[in-house]
Amino acid sequence: MTLSTSASAVSRASARGRRKPRPLATWRFPFAIPGFVFYGGLVLVPLVLSFFYSFTDRSLLRPDASFVGFDNYLRLLSDPSFLGTFGFTSVLTVVNLVLVNAVGLMVAVLLDKVGRVFFAVRMAFFVPVALSGVIVAFIWSRILTDNGVLNSTLRALGLGDLAQSWLGTSFTAQASVVVVTAWQALGLCIVVYLAGLQTVPRELLDSARIDGCGPVGSFANVTWPLLAPSLTINATLLLINGFKTYDIPVVMTGTGPGGATSTVATEVIRVGFSLNRVGLASAMAIIMLAVVAFITVVIVGLLQRREVSN
Amino acid sequence: MHKQVTRGLIAFAAVASLTLAGCSASAPEEGSSADDPQAPAEITFLTFQSPNLTEQFWEDQVAEIQKTYPNLTVNLEYTPGLDRQDYAKQLLATGTLPDVIWDVPLQDFVSAGALLPYSSEDLAGIDAPEGSGTIDGEHYSLTVGAQVIPLIYYNKDEFDALGIEEPTTFSELKDAAATIAAAGKTPFLIGGGADSWASTIFLDGIITSDVIAADPQWTAARRAGDVSFTDPDFEAAVKKWLDLSTSGYFNSDALSVDYSQLQSKFANGEGVMYPMGSWAGASQVDFNVGVFALPSSSGDYTLGLNYGQALAVSATTKFPAQAKAFAVAMATGQGANLAQLKADSVIPVAKGFEAPTDIPPLISKTFDAYQTDGAAYVEPFGWTQGQNALPSGFTAEFDKGAQQLLSGSTTVKDFLAQMDKTFDDLDQG
């Protein structure tokens, strides 16, 4: 190969790199219109309308509405009932975030093997994700009643002292909703971590082993840092899912007893459609959106910074 | 450039035509008439399913009516759960209210102009109290019958074994409960879970018997500020109910079993007395069941009659005559009435209806309890319709507070004070 040939090749490559962008093919735009229409009509417009309604006393059944400024927001922030609901939703979200991530990672590491048994177990963990939340809640409501499967099993095992009315008291009902929500979210979390684990290069693990790292050292120094993108995805999904929890408390406990398992999402529906107060319900929804958006931005920012540093 | 613009226009036209093809509506059928109930029409009927009223039941009802109106096509829609009213509101808010709706929050819907009033001809076959379904002099709700809220169904075999007679006063009812509890059995079954009304139907009965009986216009009086929830009579009624709970007379899982589970518990013999609406008369059980009206402290009987099992017609229906004809047929037809009676123990109020002699024994006993000697009839607390209705969403708040009472997280005084506040707040609309 001569020098000139080499230079020519470099020049061609350089020219390819600096190639002018092709002019925008305007004929393609109309095909995006249905997408824009659906997204605008089903997401953007309702979002803007909700924001607007949150500053009004709009009713579900009356077309007229008056501007009330920040009254709806001030009312919610001083309403012990709403604050209690918001508190439970926050606890549910945080517990899910920590519990599901921890258990999901542990299970994913244990199942990151080849073989029919592992495949079958992975499938078993994923089944709840494929089920509707309504079905999950219905099944668990039958398991958790006083004469349900859980208490019967405890009694059969001689642990009758642990049997109790899981859905009948505020604390146990709240704990039950949190656990069932986490149980359903676990499968997806495991799958995301398994996908992350399969991208960890074997050579790095081999190098770590040659350098004297044990299984824990390899995990801490190689696997865990490389799982950072999976953690970001899981954290974001769990955060959003936690705050918008609706179906499980509605079906499993009817948000009871005495409203103990109400979440912000169930309250939005109750206030909007049962009390007819669309303005107030919109303010709840906007508060939920703002909190989720803020926490997501902060957490994703922190986790992505960790990804870059890794 | 010109070529690109032309291509763009062609592509836009193609996409637009595809989109419009998907959205095009079918033209109304020729010859259809809004005034002729026999003219061809396609209507949607929103109703609900319960352990008594199954999908098959409704399909049979529609098929029966179609014998009279062969050109009528009826699309059945069901609410996602037992709660009909909130779901109907969601459909109203989204502009998709069906033509005929079973059980709507009447006051809300009328104030939103969402319903068509019935004419005097439509109502001619109904023998219900003047006020039921009426707002501002217009009748918007066509009842298919009355339900007693509640009656006390009981395991007669257990009563006999324990030597208990049917109580005729509230004091005797408590004594019976004490005897049952002493025998290690659960005196009363109440529910909760996803059906919070099942927690309070017994309480509603006590309030009806002790408070509403003395002032059938109690809600109007509360609205005017003449009475309050914290009044001694109301407080005493709530305490009576709570006292049964603190005495251990309710099932321990009361707050965690929904209505269908509650029904199963009674059928499985897990409790002796079952305070429930008269639809429990359609229960299928393997033991002898008796039923009596809830007695007051004095021994007087005041039965709360709910006429809310009723049909409303949407103001936006394209087929008002056919929709009303369908509703009238369902409310007054002998076959329809008999089916409601047998399936859900609804007490027909259609003029001229005669119950056959072969109705199931428990339904027959329910009829007898409904006709208890000397009983007075009022609208039951928490189940009022029309002008006597509680504010929108109040009943759910009441149920929630009552559940807190049962779980011990509030006191009677705090609960009632909160109810006064909630009533005033929600009554503002």
Quick check: A60 contacting B, CB < 8 Å?
A: yes
Contact A253 B4 (CB under 8 A): no
Strand partners, B43: B74
Give the pLDDT score at A19.
62
Tokens of A251: 């079906």
Which residue in chain B has the smallest CA separation from A255? B194
Q: Is the pLDDT of residue A310 over 80?
A: no
Contact B256 A167 (CB under 8 A): yes
Contact A61 B108 (CB under 8 A): yes
Give the pLDDT score at A62.
78
Of A208-222, B11-25, B50-64, B182-196, the range with the lowest mean pLDDT is B11-25
Given the DSSP bridges, would you call strands B72-78 and B310-313 parallel, antiparallel or unpaired?
unpaired
Segment B20-36 shows an average pLDDT of: 48
Quick check: A27 contacting B, CB < 8 Å?
A: yes
Give the pLDDT score at B385.
78
Q: Is the pLDDT of residue B256 over 90?
A: no
- The Cα B281–Cα B289 span in angstroms is 9
Segment B88-105 shows an average pLDDT of: 89
CA distance A133 to chain B (A): 14
Burial B273-311 (b: 16+ CB within 10 A, else e): bbbbbbbbbbbebeeebbbbbbbbeeeebbbbbbbbbbb
Q: Which residue has the tokens 């047929």?
A: B329
DSSP state of A140: H
Reduced to 3 states (helix: H, G, I; strand: E, B; else coil), residue A275 is coil
Say what percent of chain A tops pLDDT 70: 91
Q: How confident is the model at residue A21 (pLDDT cuts 50, 70, 90)?
A: low
Half-sphere exposure of B423 (CA within 13 A, CB side): 22
Residues in contact with B183: Cβ distance below 8 Å, sequence separation at least 6, in sequence order: B162
CA distance B286 to chain A (A): 20
Of A91-95, B25-29, B392-396, the range with the lowest mean pLDDT is B25-29
Quick check: A170 contacting B, CB < 8 Å?
A: yes
What is chain A's alpha carbon radius of gyration, rounded to the nearest angstrom? 26
Q: Is the pLDDT of residue B6 over 50?
A: no
Predicted confidence (pLDDT) per residue in B39-88, tens digit: 999 999 999 888 778 899 899 989 999 999 999 999 999 998 777 888 89
Across A71-85, B76-90, B363-377, the highest mean pLDDT is recorded for A71-85
Give the pLDDT score at A7.
45
Give the pLDDT score at A18.
56
Q: How confident is the model at residue B175 (pLDDT cuts 50, 70, 90)?
A: very high
Give the pLDDT score at B115.
94
Inter-CA distances, A156 with A149, A159, B200, B268, Å: 10, 7, 34, 21
Say what percent of chain B tops pLDDT 90: 49
Predicted confidence (pLDDT) per residue in A24-53, tens digit: 677 788 888 999 999 999 999 999 999 999
With contacts defined as CB-CB under 8 Å, which chain B residues touch A33? 12, 15
CA distance A29 to chain B (A): 8
Give the pLDDT score at A274.
85
Residues in contact with B285: Cβ distance below 8 Å, sequence separation at least 6, in sequence order: B266, B267, B269
For residue A146, give the nearest of B256, B396, B403 by CB distance: B256
Instruction: Classify burial at B372, counting beta carbons within 10 Å of its beta carbon; exposed 0-12, middle 13-18, buried 19 or more.
Output: middle
Q: How confident is the model at residue A287 (pLDDT cuts 50, 70, 90)?
A: very high
CA distance B407 to chain A (A): 6
For residue A34, give the nearest of B19, B199, B392 by CB distance: B19
Across A200-204, A299-303, B310-314, the highest mean pLDDT is recorded for B310-314
- The Cα A218–Cα A205 span in angstroms is 6
- The Cα B58–Cα B78 span in angstroms is 10
**Full strand arrangement of the beta sheet holding B147-149:** B147-149, B302-306, B376-378
Give the pLDDT score at A3.
41
Given the DSSP bridges, would you call strands B376-378 and B302-306 parallel, antiparallel or unpaired?
parallel
CA distance A124 to chain B (A): 28
- The Cα A60–Cα A56 span in angstroms is 12
Inter-CA distances, B74 with A245, B64, B77, B251, B344, Å: 36, 12, 10, 42, 22
* Cβ pair B224, A225 in contact under 8 A: no
Helix (H) or strand (E) segment spanning residue B292:
strand B289-293
Instruction: Classify burial at B17, counting beta carbons within 10 Å of its beta carbon; exposed 0-12, middle 13-18, buried 19 or more.
Output: exposed
Predicted confidence (pLDDT) per residue in B107-158, tens digit: 889 988 999 999 988 888 888 877 778 888 899 989 888 899 999 999 999 9
Q: Is the pLDDT of residue B283 over 70?
A: yes
Q: At what angle do helices B320-332 and B55-68 cross, to 10 degrees?
A: 110
Segment B341-353 shows an average pLDDT of: 85
Q: Is the pLDDT of residue B225 over 50?
A: yes
Predicted confidence (pLDDT) per residue in A83-125, tens digit: 999 999 999 999 999 999 999 999 998 888 888 888 888 888 8
pTM of the complete model? 0.80
* Cβ pair A285, A268 in contact under 8 A: yes
Of A224-238, B24-38, B143-157, B280-294, the range with the lowest mean pLDDT is B24-38
With contacts defined as CB-CB under 8 Å, which chain B residues touch A142? 261
Q: Which residue has the higher pLDDT, B81 or A157?
A: A157
- The Cα A197–Cα A199 span in angstroms is 5
Give the pLDDT score at B33.
58
- The Cα B120–Cα A136 span in angstroms is 49
pLDDT averaged over every residue in chain B: 87
Q: How confident is the model at residue B184 (pLDDT cuts 50, 70, 90)?
A: very high
Quick check: A28 contacting B, CB < 8 Å?
A: yes
Contact A250 B192 (CB under 8 A): no
With contacts defined as CB-CB under 8 Å, which chain B residues touch A173? 256
Q: How confident is the model at residue B27 (pLDDT cuts 50, 70, 90)?
A: very low
Give the pLDDT score at B34.
62
Give the pLDDT score at A52.
94
With contacts defined as CB-CB under 8 Å, which chain A residues touch B12? 30, 33
Alpha carbon B230 to its chain centroid, in Å, reads 27
Segment A275-298 shows an average pLDDT of: 92
Q: What are phi and psi of B40, to 5 degrees?
A: -60, 135
Quick check: A145 contacting B, CB < 8 Å?
A: yes
Q: Is A304 left (phi over 0), alpha (psi -120 to 50) or beta?
A: alpha
Give the pLDDT score at B313.
96
Segment B200-222 shows an average pLDDT of: 93
Residues in contact with B257: Cβ distance below 8 Å, sequence separation at least 6, in sequence order: A145, A146, B191, B192, B193, B198, B251, B265
How many residues are recorded in chain A? Answer: 310
Give the pLDDT score at B21.
39
Contact B253 A173 (CB under 8 A): no
Inter-CA distances, A287 with A261, A291, B216, B413, Å: 19, 6, 43, 33
Contact A169 B15 (CB under 8 A): no
* Cβ pair A213, A205 in contact under 8 A: no
Give the pLDDT score at B117.
94
Say what percent of chain A tops pLDDT 90: 49
Q: How confident is the model at residue B22 (pLDDT cuts 50, 70, 90)?
A: very low
Segment A247-272 shows an average pLDDT of: 91
- The Cα B246–Cα B124 span in angstroms is 49
- The Cα A70–Cα A87 span in angstroms is 22
CA distance B335 to chain A (A): 35
